[in-house]
Amino acid sequence: MPQEILKQIINQLQTLEPSELEQLSQAIQSYLIDRETAAKRAIFHQALVETGLVRQIKHPTVQQRTRPSLIQIQGESVSQTIIAERR
């Protein structure tokens, strides 16, 4: 990051409220943890390939997964039916 941008960001920190600073701190920590996790995962995958345990690492495609819609049922819940049948 160029030093000028970093200086601007540091100067803008003085204008933030404590709650905003806390939110910024949490966002930065989350970002750093994500990067660290990704780096560790890449090292692990590389070690798997180098040792011959796997030939290639397939990365899942990032797609928005839709949640299945819930089915409305009449009468007793399924869990109650199962409990009753086990007795």
19-43 mean pLDDT: 89
| Percentage of the residues of the chain whose pLDDT score is greater than 90 | 22
pLDDT score for 40: 93
Please indicate, yes or no, whether the overall pTM of this predicted structure exceeds 0.85: no
Question: How many Cα atoms sit within 13 Å of 60 on the Cβ side?
Answer: 4
CA atoms within 13 A on the CB side of 34: 6
**Residue pointed to by tokens 């399924």:** 78
With pLDDT > 70 as the criterion, what percentage of the chain qualifies? 93
Residues listed for the chain: 87
What are 34-62's pLDDT values in tens digits?
A: 888 989 999 999 999 999 999 988 877 66
The secondary structure of 14-52, three-state, reads CCCCHHHHHHHHHHHHHHHHHHHHHHHHHHHHHHHHHHC
Mean pLDDT, rounded, for 5-31: 88
